[in-house]
Every structure is written in C-alpha cells, then in structure tokens.
C-alpha cells in the first residue's frame, strides 16, 4: 500500500441576501437585487424563480410586473464557480384595487336631498362638491340644483384607489298643455286632451270614458266642470287644469198640421217652440211674403213642404216639416151669368175673374146657332179690357143668351175648363 498526501482546497460558501422595492397596488412593478454578504472573488451565478412560474437571471431584476393581486414568493440562488451556493427568499405582495360602487343613478325632486352611498373602500372622496353636504364621507346627501354627475374616489387600507360615478337628475315643476272645454248639445261628446305629465287623474268620472288617460272622451248629461290633476313620474310636482263643458238641451219644435189652401190665398204658419229657442228659420223661402218671429205669412203658388229649423244659444237644433197643399178650383174663379154693355160704365165687359189665376189660355163665345162671335188666347185674367164687349164684327149684338168656353191656367199650373151661358142685356 502506498500512501501519499493530497492537497484539499476549502472554498467559502457564499452568503447572500436580497432587497426588493415596496409592495404596491396592481399593476405593480418590483425591483429586486441580490446582495453578497461575504467577500468572494469567485464568479457568481444568480438565478431568480417566482411562485407564478417565471424565472430571471442576473443579480438584479428591474420592473418585474404583477398585474393580479396576491402574495408571491421570490427565490434567489447564488452559485460560485466552485459550485457552492446560497439561497435568499422574499415575499412580494400586490394589493388589489378596491371595487368602488357609487350605486345606481337617481332622480330627485327639485329641492329634495338624496343620500348617495359608496361601498368597497376604506375612505372616500367626492367631487364636485356642489350640492353635497360632505365630500370625505361614504354617504353624503346630494341636493344639486341641476343634473350632476358625482365622481367618488375610494382608497383601501393599503392606499389603493378605485373610482365610480353616479348621476343625479333633477325633476322640476311642470305645466301641462291642454285644450279648453266645449259647448255641447245633449247626447254629443267632445275630446278633452292634455300633455306634459306622466300620470293623469280626471274628476268627476261621470260622462268620461276613462279617468287616467291624457285624452278622454266626455259625454256629460249636464254641464260639468272637469278637473285634471297631472303628476310627474316621481310624484314630485302636480299641475291642475279645468275643462268647463256646458251642455244645452235639444230644443223642440212643432210646425203644425199640414195645410190645404187655394192658390192666391194667404196663410199664417206659427210653430210651437220650446222656451230656449232663440232663432227660427223657414225654408224654402219661396211663397213667404212676411216674417213675424216665429211665424211666417205664405202665399205659395205650388204645393210646398216647408221646413222649420230652430236653435238655442248652444247651437243645438231641431226641425219639423209641414206640407201646404195648393189647390185651384171653383173657389178661385168667378164667371158672371149676365153683363150689360149699354155704355153706363157698369158691367160693360164679360170676362172671368178670380184669385191665383195665371192666364186665360183660350176664351170662346158662341151664339145660339153655334157661330163663334168672340175668341182670344193667352189673355191676362182680371182685366176688363181683355173681355167681350158684346159686339161681333164691330156691330153690337142684340140681347140674347150666348155660350162661353174658357180654359183658365192657375198659378199652380192647373188648367180649369169652364162652359156655361152668359146673358147679354141692353
């Protein structure tokens, strides 16, 4: 056995530490540095590992990012050229941002405060300060004069910041836009309308087809002053409107019974009307020769149906009719049976006369032997100058009895035919 001494070199084990930047709020960047705590001239190898699986080489790591919150472990291994090594560890904490919630947007009545409450942080700061009773509290009372968006900044115990906002709208007094009332006749209806409110309440309900609409149909049986109260959707403010609806009765009229009269005659028509009637109108106007409210005096030439319409101050109307039957008969015509053309100026001519006569279509007179001694056509009635003066061919005829034939047209276009005897007396 041969024994010989061998030299053994003992190398110092490195002793290391590490330093890191302060913990922070996400996203946070850490700066880390390895420190050699004992003197060693050997070449050192530095290797970092992190609990989230990332690795890095080098004595220093700058701006190592952490985007999510949590506690992370950092381990640093330093190895010298002889393979001797040391390990240093540290905890890295990334603080979560507070989830700040200012609540849902709100609408307030003008002049009325509303508490707004922020949650999710340890302390709060509100802006703008206008309308708030405090700006560094969790739940200030907001009383803005106009719509305002408030921003709240919440800070956690670690100093991390979260933000949110809430808008406070303001409901103001309003005025409804509406139509006016109306004047109706009994049984009629009218539409009453309004706008500008969210909720509508009509009263009284009598005669209305609804009481909670912006537009309603009104058919009252008597004059009514309807009231409408409009409210906004929050019940902050109200407006009131009135709709007077005056109801007039339907007037009554009775024109009377139908009438039969002879053409050329006159008749007074007097209707029976209700006390509220203020106007009476008759039609057609033909044949009316005088008006004496509510009556008319008529002298129609033809059979006529008269219509009378009455109205009251509300414009409500009623009508009635009556028919006037116009006749032409013997009551309209007078034909004498004697005449005396002797020059005394009395009863000198023979001619038909009467009322309601339009013309004598034909006039013929014959002697006892059937000889035509007088003939005329389209003679104006009631004119003695158009009559027969008792002559034939310019010669005066002796007293005798003659036969006449007349076709007489009345003013109602009826034609009457008359035949008879006329005695000529000297």
Question: Per residue in 124-167, pLDDT tens?
Answer: 999 999 999 999 999 999 999 999 999 999 999 999 999 999 99
pLDDT digits (tens, 9 = 90+) for 83-99: 899 999 999 999 999 99
| Residues 39 and 88 both lie in one domain | yes
Q: From residue 341, give the alpha-carbon distance in Å to each of 333, 347, 360, 405.
A: 22, 7, 21, 20
Q: Does some domain include residue 302?
A: yes
pLDDT digits (tens, 9 = 90+) for 375-407: 999 999 999 999 999 999 999 999 999 999 999
Question: What residues does 47 pair with on adjacent strands?
Answer: 57, 77
Please check whether residue 151 is in contact with residue 100, taking contact to mean a CB–CB distance below 8 angstroms: no
Residue 386, SS3 per DSSP: helix
| Residues 195 and 116 both lie in one domain | no
Please check whether residue 121 is in contact with residue 154, taking contact to mean a CB–CB distance below 8 angstroms: yes
| Residues 415 and 336 both lie in one domain | yes
| Residues 243 and 282 both lie in one domain | no
Domain boundary among 327, 348, 377: 327
Please check whether residue 410 is in contact with residue 396, taking contact to mean a CB–CB distance below 8 angstroms: no
pLDDT above 70 covers a percentage of the chain that reads: 98
Q: Does some domain include residue 278?
A: yes
Q: Does some domain include residue 11?
A: no
Question: What residues does 281 pair with on adjacent strands?
Answer: 309
Range of the domain at 234: 177-248
Please check whether residue 237 is in contact with residue 172, taking contact to mean a CB–CB distance below 8 angstroms: yes
| Residues 335 and 410 both lie in one domain | yes
pLDDT digits (tens, 9 = 90+) for 329-369: 888 899 999 999 998 989 999 999 999 888 999 999 999 99
> Residue 298 sits in a domain of what CATH number?
2.60.40.10
pLDDT digits (tens, 9 = 90+) for 19-52: 999 999 999 999 999 999 987 667 889 999 999 9
Domain boundary among 44, 69, 95: 95
> Residue 137 sits in a domain of what CATH number?
2.60.40
Domain boundary among 298, 327, 356: 327
pLDDT at position 160 is 97
Count of CB atoms situated within 10 Å of the CB of 385: 9
| Residues 279 and 344 both lie in one domain | no
| Residues 239 and 218 both lie in one domain | yes
Q: Does some domain include residue 419?
A: yes
Q: How far apart are CA 296 and CA 299, in angstroms?
A: 10
What's the domain count of the chain?
A: 5
pLDDT digits (tens, 9 = 90+) for 54-90: 999 999 999 999 999 999 999 999 999 888 999 999 9
| Residues 365 and 381 both lie in one domain | yes
Q: Does some domain include residue 1?
A: no
Q: Is 389 exposed, middle or buried (0-12, 13-18, 19+ CB in 10 A)?
A: middle
Q: How confident is the model at residue 318 (pLDDT cuts 50, 70, 90)?
A: very high
Nearest-CA neighbor of 29 among 67, 3, 85?
67
Q: Does some domain include residue 4?
A: no
Please check whether residue 194 is in contact with residue 175, taking contact to mean a CB–CB distance below 8 angstroms: no
Q: Does some domain include residue 8?
A: no
| Residues 313 and 336 both lie in one domain | no
| Residues 311 and 363 both lie in one domain | no
């Amino acid at each position: 056995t041969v024994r010989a001494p061998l030299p053994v070199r003992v190398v110092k084990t490195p002793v290391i530490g590490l330093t890191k930047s302060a913990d922070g709020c996400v996203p946070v960047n850490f700066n880390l540095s390895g420190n050699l705590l004992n003197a060693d001239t050997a070449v050192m190898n530095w290797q970092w590992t992190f609990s989230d699986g990332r690795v890095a080489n080098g004595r220093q790591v700058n701006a190592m990012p952490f985007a999510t919150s949590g506690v992370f472990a950092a381990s640093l291994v330093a190895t010298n050229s002889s393979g001797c090594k040391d390990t240093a560890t540290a905890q890295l904490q990334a603080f979560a941002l507070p989830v700040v919630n200012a609540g849902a947007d709100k609408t307030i009545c003008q002049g009325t405060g509303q508490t707004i409450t922020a949650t999710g942080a340890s302390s709060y700061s509100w802006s703008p300060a206008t309308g708030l009773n405090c700006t560094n509290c969790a739940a200030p009372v907001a009383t803005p004069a106009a719509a305002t968006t408030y921003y709240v900044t919440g800070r956690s115990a670690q100093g991390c910041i979260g933000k949110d906002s809430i808008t406070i709208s303001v409901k103001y007094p309003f005025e409804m836009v509406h139509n006016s009332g109306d004047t109706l006749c009994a049984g009629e209806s009218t539409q009453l309308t309004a706008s500008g409110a969210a909720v509508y309440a009509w009263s009284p309900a009598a005669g209305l087809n609804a009481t909670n609409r912006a537009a309603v149909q009104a058919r009252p049986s008597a004059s009514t002053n309807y009231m409408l109260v409009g409210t906004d959707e929050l019940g902050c403010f109200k407006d009131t409107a009135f709709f007077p609806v005056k109801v007039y009765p339907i007037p009554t009229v009775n024109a009377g019974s139908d009438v039969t009269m002879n053409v050329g005659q006159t008749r007074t028509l007097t209707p029976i009307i209700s006390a509220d009637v203020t106007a009476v109108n008759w039609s057609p106007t033909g044949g009316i020769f005088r008006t004496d409210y509510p009556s008319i005096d008529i002298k129609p030439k033809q059979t006529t149906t008269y219509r009378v319409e009455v109205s009251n101050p509300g414009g409500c109307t009623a009508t009635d009719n009556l028919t006037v039957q116009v006749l032409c008969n013997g009551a309209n015509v007078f034909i004498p049976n004697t005449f005396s053309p002797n020059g005394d100026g009395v009863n000198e001519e023979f001619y038909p006369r009467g009322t309601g006569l339009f013309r004598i279509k034909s006039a013929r007179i014959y002697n006892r032997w059937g000889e035509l001694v007088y003939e005329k056509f389209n003679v104006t009635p009631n004119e003695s100058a158009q009559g027969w003066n008792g002559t034939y061919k310019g010669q005066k005829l002796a007293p005798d009895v003659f036969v006449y034939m007349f076709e007489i047209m009345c003013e109602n276009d009826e034609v009457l035919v008359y035949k008879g005897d006329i005695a000529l007396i000297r």
